[in-house]
Structure 1
């Protein structure tokens, strides 16, 4: 085997990135979300595949996943129009908090009863898969040929961008209880409230400051706008984390505020961040695919199918119908569609690494189950979202274009 030189490392990295994009494009042509192609190539390049790349550093993968999620959420926020999401702000926040807790509870109970997990192990698994994935939702919904009703689309995207903090908090609580089972649950409530308030406040401050800097700095080099946008995403996450706030919420809120204000280079920043978000998805899914050993997946196939079925057919619908019950603007058709559009993606896989890093019993089996759930969710739900929207009559109504004015031919002058 040749020595790993910087040139060889960069060559292999470039080949992997390009091949991953091609794999994602190919999978999208068959109606399967691109993330499946990204993950599949990672598995093929890993230890069990022909690539033979030995990678099992869950701490590094966790760091890469967190870094990538920052830019995915920030970019998603930039593309979130406030006028569209403002009417659905309340239902989205309820679904992103209460809904996540309901999903976590139902899956936890399933894991305890069917998989013989302990109470806290079941709680950890339920928390890991409870949130929908912003990267998967943004990628699938924004590439659908079917134009989904604006209020429903805004609800799904806002929820997916804001429910990660709740899932991360629940995972943290589960790990804390596993380490110290006698800790009173009420002790975690002030921590959660502080995380949410600080995360939102810091996100608003960074998003506002970002636009002010670009407006007043009068940067001479256009590329510096893009550097400042990267700094804004990192500052939002980092500052919130240092102050014990939710960094993911801060990154998303900063993007939403910045995306709804006018400033020089706004279009270029949005396009750059969109490309950066796609690069982040490729890197994140490729890295997570490298962590998986395909020969281990058949051993958890039945458990994975059971959790997937409960999550898609019971936990997610129950969380949606209960959370949205007070909001009459969404009928049963919209609620059913929101239930089915709750895609799982990289976030649950990243969160599953937390248990392995913390040394939780059966954490590797849990990671494999979560990976199986993500694959099944993407393969089953992703390609059918557009079809379900049509069947439920949730297509966006587009006003017909007026006919073009008749053209008048010039009268020919007789010779």
Structure 2
């Protein structure tokens, strides 16, 4: 019997997933960011590559990306110990909010004044890649054998777990301003509402998830795992429908569940770690398929200039200004490292689909620019993270690393 299209789809998907897992092992061995491999694999499988898979559905890519990010953030919250992040809560929150705004505005000014973008379009370009990706940072550091001091690691974890919602808010807000559907004052109210509802509902629904995990009998382990999966989706969706930030909610819910005293918690952690991994792989592959590599050379010059400004000016300056009120607690070496560890990940690429779906002029150029900026950031900054931490002397002491 001849193979059906469904058979070919399943076979092709299995090959891509297996290659992604093998490439991740290569990444760990040689210290090369896995994100580069996953995106490159998607690009090779796409219509411009030997795979020849035509994929141009930004709506589907955005939906998969948002769902994947929800589970990745929940898993990140599960793995975050509140006792570690509590001492760095306020500097982390300032970086996750004001830091994102400053980075966005600085890049927007650069795009407008230097590259000639219309002001609002320039600020939209600045907003999309304004958040950081801690998962990429820590996977690279582990691969390079670098162990950061605990409070630095906690600060980066908290910032990256909480800064995606601000990038989403700025992206949606600037799109609304471009289309004449909002005023600047509306963004402030939207931000307060999203953050407030996200924190409140995330905490409440995190308690619900913890209660449900302990309540269900262990003879139904599969169903209980499925229940936790469904409740993560519910946490994101319910919060978003009410006008809050679903990303904040799932991260806070994960933080609540991860720090609760639960029976057989290891089972829950292992399950959601696996879910987060498959979500990362699928998301990067789909986003790689969505881009057309033949269009990237056309934005290479502008993308390089924006990426360099973001890496060497916008991010370090924003970090320095945000940590200025805490200067007695943070040394200049720590501020320098936090400023350099501003790796971009999948979130900017997902956010770059928003202008496409909204019909913003030059949306395809924006998407290609953001994709190029992410690749440039990961390729240049990724291999240097370990060197920077060692040069600044911010690794754990040997006796601490062994404990």
Deviations 1:126-160 (A, max 9, x none): 00011112442353345441110000010011100
Distance in 2, Cα, partners of 1:311 & 1:73: 24
Give 1:400 deviation, angstroms: 7.6
Q: Which residue of 1 aligns with 2:42?
A: 42
Q: Which runs of 5+ in 1 are unaligned?
A: 403-415
Mean alpha-carbon deviation: is it higher for 204-213 or for 152-161? 204-213
Deviations 1:89-121 (A, max 9, x none): 000000000000000001001111232211111
Which has the larger helix fraction? 2
Q: Which residue of 1 aligns with 2:191?
A: 192
Distance in 2, Cα, partners of 1:28 & 1:194: 40
TM-score by length of 1: 0.93
Q: Which runs of 5+ in 2 are unaligned?
A: none
8 A Cα contact 1:42 1:285, kept in partner: yes
Distance in 2, Cα, partners of 1:314 & 1:187: 29
Paired residue secondary structure (1:172): helix
Distance in 1, Cα, partners of 2:166 & 2:69: 15
Task: Sort the Cα spacing of 1:137 and 1:235 in 2 relative to 1 into closer, same or farther, 3 A.
Answer: farther
Give 1:229 deviation, angstroms: 2.1
Task: Sort the Cα spacing of 1:334 and 1:353 in 2 relative to 1 into closer, same or farther, 3 A.
Answer: same
Distance in 1, Cα, partners of 2:92 & 2:239: 22
Give 1:276 deviation, angstroms: 1.1
8 A Cα contact 2:148 2:389, kept in partner: yes
Q: Which residue of 2 aligns with 1:213?
A: 212
8 A Cα contact 1:21 1:38, kept in partner: no
8 A Cα contact 2:59 2:357, kept in partner: yes
Distance in 2, Cα, partners of 1:293 & 1:225: 41
Q: Which residue of 2 aligns with 1:31?
A: 31
Task: Sort the Cα spacing of 1:3 and 1:400 in 2 relative to 1 into closer, same or farther, 3 A.
Answer: closer
Distance in 2, Cα, partners of 1:75 & 1:144: 23
8 A Cα contact 2:27 2:143, kept in partner: no
Give 1:85 deviation, angstroms: 0.3
Q: Which residue of 2 aligns with 1:336?
A: 336
Distance in 2, Cα, partners of 1:400 & 1:249: 32
Mean alpha-carbon deviation: is it higher for 350-359 or for 131-140? 131-140
Q: Which residue of 1 aligns with 2:155?
A: 155
Q: Which residue of 2 aligns with 1:321?
A: 320
Task: Sort the Cα spacing of 1:401 and 1:256 in 2 relative to 1 into closer, same or farther, 3 A.
Answer: closer
Distance in 2, Cα, partners of 1:97 & 1:400: 31
Task: Sort the Cα spacing of 1:188 and 1:266 in 2 relative to 1 into closer, same or farther, 3 A.
Answer: same
8 A Cα contact 2:42 2:286, kept in partner: yes
Aligned residues: 400
Distance in 2, Cα, partners of 1:175 & 1:138: 32
Distance in 2, Cα, partners of 1:33 & 1:42: 15
Distance in 2, Cα, partners of 1:47 & 1:114: 34
8 A Cα contact 1:194 1:244, kept in partner: yes
Alignment of 1:101 onto 2:101: yes
Q: Which residue of 2 aligns with 1:274?
A: 273
8 A Cα contact 1:38 1:286, kept in partner: yes
Q: Which residue of 2 aligns with 1:390?
A: 390
Distance in 2, Cα, partners of 1:199 & 1:184: 23
Paired residue secondary structure (1:220): helix
Deviations 1:179-212 (A, max 9, x none): 116x431122222111101001111011111111
Distance in 1, Cα, partners of 2:46 & 2:351: 20
Paired residue secondary structure (2:219): coil
Task: Sort the Cα spacing of 1:279 and 1:400 in 2 relative to 1 into closer, same or farther, 3 A.
Answer: closer
Paired residue secondary structure (2:220): coil
The within-5 A match list for 1:243-258 is: 243-258=242-257
Paired residue secondary structure (1:163): helix
Paired residue secondary structure (1:147): coil
8 A Cα contact 2:77 2:258, kept in partner: yes
8 A Cα contact 1:135 1:346, kept in partner: no
8 A Cα contact 1:225 1:269, kept in partner: no
8 A Cα contact 2:307 2:376, kept in partner: yes
Distance in 2, Cα, partners of 1:40 & 1:28: 17
The within-5 A match list for 1:281-292 is: 281-292=280-291
Distance in 2, Cα, partners of 1:297 & 1:104: 22
Q: Which residue of 1 aligns with 2:120?
A: 120
Q: Which residue of 2 aligns with 1:180?
A: 180
The within-5 A match list for 1:45-84 is: 45-84=45-84
Mean alpha-carbon deviation: is it higher for 15-24 or for 338-347? 15-24
8 A Cα contact 1:222 1:265, kept in partner: no
Distance in 1, Cα, partners of 2:400 & 2:151: 20
Q: Which residue of 1 aligns with 2:301?
A: 302
TM-score by length of 2: 0.95
Paired residue secondary structure (1:342): coil
8 A Cα contact 1:240 1:250, kept in partner: yes
